[in-house]
Amino acid sequence: MDPGDLAQLSNEQFEFLGDAILGFVISEELVRCFPQYGEGKLSRLKAHLVSANHLHESAHKLELGRFLRLGRGEELSGGRDKRTLITDALEALIAAIYLDGGLEPARRLILDYVTSGGLELIESRFAASQLDYKTALQELVRARKMAQPRYVIARERGPEHSKTFTVEVRVGKDLTAQADGYSKKDASQKAAKEMYLRMESEASDSIAAEE
């Protein structure tokens, strides 16, 4: 594309193109890495990798918030960490790199930052995150004839558009676990996972000691 034409493109057009390039590269990599997976599982993995939460983490690695040009109101309201703004900026950056240097430099950025650590590791973490640990914890305490878990919001931090929640789960009088998340549901699941894994680990240690 002619440099003069690039100057006429809006941020929204860059974001639109970057989103398409991101989707293509992620789809191609998933098919290459997981030829045994069907369309359904590939689609779920892709949805996770291009989700706002995941792209928000990727944009943070690039420190994109530092380079945003913001109005005074957006600046004062925490716009440099606003999920929508920095994920849009990441998509626009992908498009700009593609238009300037072609697909391979854009692919390298995506592989280095969006799929950093490798797709196999991301897939295993994603699979674990899909487990319903709140239900698993309920079943565990029921099997051990303990009181049902209780969840409380311990803290809320950040501006209204980008809050982080800390949820604490309690089982009985003494067992507690906390976790953070971008939503109360996410934080609750993470706290339940922490508690579930701890209780299972302690049970395994107790059995080993008896043997």
CB atoms within 10 A of CB 72: 8
Instruction: Break the chain into its structural domains and give their ranges.
Output: 3-129, 133-210
Q: What positions carry a catalytic annotation?
A: 19, 91
Look up the CATH architecture of domain 3-129.
Answer: Orthogonal Bundle (1.10)
pTM as predicted: 0.61
pLDDT band at 158 (very low <50, low <70, confident <90, very high): confident
DSSP, res 147:
P
Task: Please name the helix (run of DSSP H) or strand (run of DSSP E) that holds residue 137, with its range, or none.
Answer: helix 133-143
Three-state DSSP state, 175: strand
Helix (H) or strand (E) holding 151: strand 150-157
| Interatomic CA distance for residues 49 and 47, integer angstroms | 6
- Which residue type is seen at 89? A
Residue 122 corresponds to which tokens in the numbers above? 């991301």
CA atoms of 193 and 178, how far apart (whole Å): 10
Q: 81-98 as b/e, with b when 16 or more CB fall inside 10 Å?
A: bbeebbbbbbbbbbbbbb
**pLDDT-derived band at 208, boundaries 50, 70, 90:** very low
Residue 56 structure tokens: 């928000």
Nearest-10 Cα torsion for 158, 117, 52, 39: -150
Q: Give me the mean pLDDT over the 173-196 stretch.
A: 92
Residue-wise pLDDT tens digits, 29-73: 999 999 998 898 888 889 889 988 889 989 989 998 888 888 888
pLDDT at 203: 62
**Of 161, 57, 76, 63, nearest to 114 (Cα)?**
57
CATH number given to 133-210:
3.30.160.20
67 vs 103: which has the higher pLDDT = 103
Computed over every residue of the chain, the mean pLDDT equals 86
Distances (CA, A) of 88 to 22, 42, 58, 155, 173: 12, 23, 12, 28, 46
Beta strands of 26-79 (E only): which ranges? none
Could you tell me how far CA 107 lies from the centroid of its own chain?
20
